[in-house]
């Protein structure tokens, strides 16, 4: 009888100890750790629209039969751009862009020639439009270095005075080529900023102006050449082609 009582007591103690141990294990089980979702990767693939401001620095040359003159001038430029990019093979990016800017590039230049004649030319550039392709490399996920090149159109005009007489105004939309380089930085979701410099060359053009002057009795034939450099800073808003947003 005593042996049976001891056996029963041992069984009760063992059962209680097992329940206590199980409860203790349940209390000590750590809660699953929360793992935040990974940030979406930055991609340059997509289209964008934006604006820019900066400076334009021009050089114009006019070669008359009796002498030549040149003029360096600078002004303000500002406008907008639209384009698309595609990222491939890791960090390589290709794309195209159309940029239209207004400019206040204007300057008068007067030269007295050895013949005793005096020529004054007022050269203006009202706007320019560039259509370029670009290729770049993302040196960091949100930093892009790029080069670009393509075609440029600009509205140029020249008012010519010889010996104080207005002999005509030439106004024409000129076509040339452009090349440049820049850096772009993604600074916020879908937003990027850029800084770039570009060179524009419009080549040489032959002109002829007739005037009732001794120096232009049979017409004044001359050629003009125009180049310009721009330094622009701008901001783009980027739309992605179904990719993760910036």
State the pTM of this model.
0.74
Residues 242/47, Cβ–Cβ less than 8 Å: no
Q: What is the tens place of the pLDDT at every residue in 163-185?
A: 777 666 667 788 999 999 999 99
pLDDT at 137 over 50: yes
Q: What is the CATH number of domain 46-239?
A: 2.40.160.20
Domain boundaries, the chain: 1-30, 46-239
Query: What is the structure's pLDDT at 221?
Result: 66
What percent of the chain clears pLDDT 70, i.e. is strictly above it?
67
Query: What is the structure's pLDDT at 245?
Result: 43
CA distance 210 to 221: 9
Average pLDDT over residues 207-222: 59
Per-position DSSP letters for the chain, written without gaps between them? -HHHHHHHHHHHHHHHHHHHHHHHHHHHPPPPPP-PPPPPPP---EEEEEEEEEEEEEEEEEEETTEEEEEEEEEEEEEEEEEEEEEETTTEEEEEEEEEEEEEEEEEEEEE-TTS-EEEEEEEEEEEEEEEEEEEEEEETTEEEEEEEEEEEEEEEEEEEETTEEEEEEEEEEEEEEEEEEEEEEEETTEEEEEEEEEEEEEEEEEEE--SSGGGTT-EEEEEEEEEEEEEEEEEEEE-SSSPP-
Q: What is the tens place of the pLDDT at every residue in 12-42?
A: 455 555 555 555 545 555 656 655 555 567 7
């Amino acid at each position: 009888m005593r042996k049976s009582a001891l056996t029963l007591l041992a069984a009760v103690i063992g059962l209680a100890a097992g329940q206590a141990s199980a409860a203790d294990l349940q209390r000590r089980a750590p809660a699953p750790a929360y793992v935040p979702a990974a940030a979406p990767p930055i991609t340059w693939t997509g289209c964008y629209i934006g604006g820019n401001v900066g400076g334009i620095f021009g050089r114009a040359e006019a070669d008359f039969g009796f002498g030549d003159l040149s003029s360096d001038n600078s002004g303000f430029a500002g406008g907008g751009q639209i384009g698309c990019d595609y990222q491939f093979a890791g960090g390589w990016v290709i794309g195209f862009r159309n940029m239209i800017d207004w400019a206040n590039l204007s300057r008068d230049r007067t030269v007295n020639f050895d013949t005793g004649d005096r020529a004054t030319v007022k050269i203006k550039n009202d706007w320019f439009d560039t259509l370029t392709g670009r290729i770049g490399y993302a040196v960091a996920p949100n930093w892009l270095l790029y080069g670009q090149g393509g075609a440029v159109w600009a509205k140029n005009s020249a008012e010519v005075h010889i010996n104080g007489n207005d002999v005509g105004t030439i106004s024409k939309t000129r076509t040339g080529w452009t090349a440049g380089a820049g850096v772009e930085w993604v600074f916020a979701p879908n937003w990027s900023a850029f800084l770039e410099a570009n060179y524009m060359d419009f080549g040489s053009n032959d002109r002829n102006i007739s005037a009732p002057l001794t120096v232009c009795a049979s017409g004044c034939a001359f050629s003009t050449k125009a180049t310009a450099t721009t330094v622009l800073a701008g901001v783009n808003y980027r739309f992605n082609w179904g990719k993760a947003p910036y």
